[in-house]
Structure 1
Amino acid sequence: MTLWKATISYDGTPFHGWQVQPGRHTVQGTLAAALQRISGEIVLPQGSGRTDAGVHALGQVASFELTAPIPAPNLHHALNRALPPSIRLLSLEAAPPRFHARHSAVRKTYEYRIVPRISAAETICSPMLAPYVWACPYRLDVGAMSEAAAHVLGTHDFTSFAAVDPDESCRTARESEPQEGEQGRLNRKGSCLPTPNIRTVLASEWTLHADEPLLRYRVTGSGFLHHMVRNLVGTFVEIGVGRLRASEMPSILAARDRRTAGPTAPARGLFLVEVDY
């Protein structure tokens, strides 16, 4: 049996997220079906994390085991032929023993892309770009957003930026990738016990390039809560518009209350860029 590590890029637009779901078109389910067609084996590839519906990946990582003795180049080629054009394996290699795409990860990098309103005139977002950005109707103060982004560096309790759905909070406690000692626990009946939403952010930066109409937020961390990046971005945009101040970020973090932060940014602007091991 060979343990494989695949680096995958996908357009999340046509999918209901990564995780396989009955009756739903998902990335994990599509990859599993391709593996079964090629090898005849029923396997469920494990991803480094569960991207939501509409979220994209430039460097998602998946691991899976196959008993079929297929050489790596042949399997790589066969999978890309079996998969739809919206999913591509960038690389495929035999993984070291006990490697797991989620449990072995030490850092992840996400990027969020916005087409902001630059002038008084309405910003026109190309339909070729629209599925991959938030076409924001507001003029944004990038300086204030950068100041706010610096406040989340380091180790904090990010409850104010976590999903508020109890089911999602329970799922996050079981299946997110926190550092040792941070993961939530389940009681013997399988229900969630309180979990600290502590994460470490290693990089947090906004950039606006003169040669392209894109405002990019890039964040690297030891792990992320469900909706955490999109909730951060929604809060930064509130600061960029002027409805919140950058100096309020420490108090929003300290409140540990989702109601104190901004709205959730649309899924379509979010990309999983890279996973480090």
Structure 2
Amino acid sequence: MAHWKLTISYDGSSFHGWQIQPNGLPTVQAAFSEAIHHLTGESVQPQGSGRTDAGVHALAQVISFPLNGALPPTNFLRALNRVLPQSIRVLQAELVPESFHARHSARGKTYEYRVFERRVRQQPGQPAAELVCSPFLAPFVWDCRWPLDFELMQQASRQVLGTHDFTSFAASDPDKSLREDGQRSGPNPVKTIDRSEWTREDGLLIYRVHGTGFLHHMVRNLVGTFVDVGRGAILPDEIPTILAARNRTAAGPTAPARGLFLKQVDYEAQAPQAGKLEGES
């Protein structure tokens, strides 16, 4: 049996997230299951490094799955890109040890969030000039209607560096079950963030964050809170208080899904395997 690792990229605009939905709505996982079955006749459900939400994009998502048949990686990559929707591309295909799992083997992730500054203040005290977001850019950014203070947002982003309980920045999960002690079970909310920063690039505000793991909606809730700081609704030094509250209502709104990209997934170095191909998107 061959064990595959694919690095993929996709425009999430038309998908209802990564995971297969019981109602048959289009998802990235379903698209891959159908493409693999079409090419090989085998029924598999590829495992992803994480479950991106509806409308979220990926620059380098990682998936893994086993196949009974042996295929040359070069041919498999090209064949998948022929049958997959244009909004999904396989960038790299490689054979890996049986122990590899896209999610369980991951050691860290980098996310990127893009904000279009619609109102930019050229001089302090002056009215902000209003810009128009291109329709070719709009599906991939938050077209933010407020003038934003970059330095305040940068100060706020540094407040989440280190190891913290990020409950205040996690989506309320209705699937959590109530334990005997009255607490709700769910993913460990304690995460370690070692990169959290804003940059200005090509007319966009870009937030990049790297950590050991992320909770549901965590990055989008961080961005929504930092934008609240940038527009003057809260102060940067309120972030530690929000973290300490461990309550979702203490933080800012959830930023739109369309601005979020899974940028990179980290794994420990593996022994080289026969058959690895880097493809073009």
Q: TM-score, normalised to structure 2's length?
A: 0.88
Q: Distance in 1 between matches of 2:187 and 2:79?
A: 42
Contact 2:187 2:215 in 1 (8 A): no
Contact 1:153 1:203 in 2 (8 A): yes
Contact 1:123 1:137 in 2 (8 A): no
2:97 aligns with 96
1:15 aligns with 15
Q: Distance in 2 between matches of 1:75 and 1:86?
A: 18
1:241 aligns with 231
Q: Distance in 1 between matches of 2:157 and 2:186?
A: 27
1:150 corresponds to which of 143, 158, 161: 158
Change in 2 beyond 3 A, CA 1:64/1:195: closer
2:144 corresponds to which of 136, 145, 149: 136
Q: Distance in 2 between matches of 1:192 and 1:85?
A: 41
Q: Distance in 2 between matches of 1:196 and 1:107?
A: 15
CA deviation map 1:71-110 (0-9, x unaligned): 1111111100010110000000001231000000000000
More strand by share: 2
- Deviation of the 1:196 alpha carbon: 4.0
Q: Distance in 2 between matches of 1:109 and 1:222?
A: 9
- Deviation of the 1:195 alpha carbon: 5.3
- Deviation of the 1:69 alpha carbon: 1.2
1:232 corresponds to 2:222: yes
Residue identity over aligned pairs, in percent, reads: 60
| Residue segments in structure 1 that go unaligned for 5+ positions in a row | 171-185
Q: Distance in 1 between matches of 2:184 and 2:30?
A: 26
Change in 2 beyond 3 A, CA 1:216/1:195: closer
2:193 aligns with 201
Q: Distance in 1 between matches of 2:129 and 2:261?
A: 28
Provide the secondary structure at the position in 1 that maps to 2:51: coil
Across the aligned residues of Structure 1 and Structure 2, the Cα RMSD in angstroms comes to: 1.5
1:180 aligns with none
Runs (4 or more) in structure 1 with deviation over 3 Å come to none
- Deviation of the 1:269 alpha carbon: 0.1
Larger radius of gyration: 2
Q: Distance in 2 between matches of 1:225 and 1:19?
A: 16
CA deviation map 1:209-262 (0-9, x unaligned): 3xx111000000000000000000000000000000000001100110111100
Contact 2:64 2:102 in 1 (8 A): yes
Change in 2 beyond 3 A, CA 1:18/1:227: same
Q: Distance in 2 between matches of 1:127 and 1:39?
A: 39
Provide the secondary structure at the position in 2 that maps to 1:166: coil
Contact 1:3 1:94 in 2 (8 A): yes
Contact 2:163 2:191 in 1 (8 A): yes
Aligned residues: 256
2:133 aligns with 125
1:259 corresponds to 2:236: no
1:215 aligns with 205
Change in 2 beyond 3 A, CA 1:196/1:72: closer
Range that drifts further, 154-163 or 114-123: 114-123
1:179 aligns with none
Change in 2 beyond 3 A, CA 1:143/1:57: same
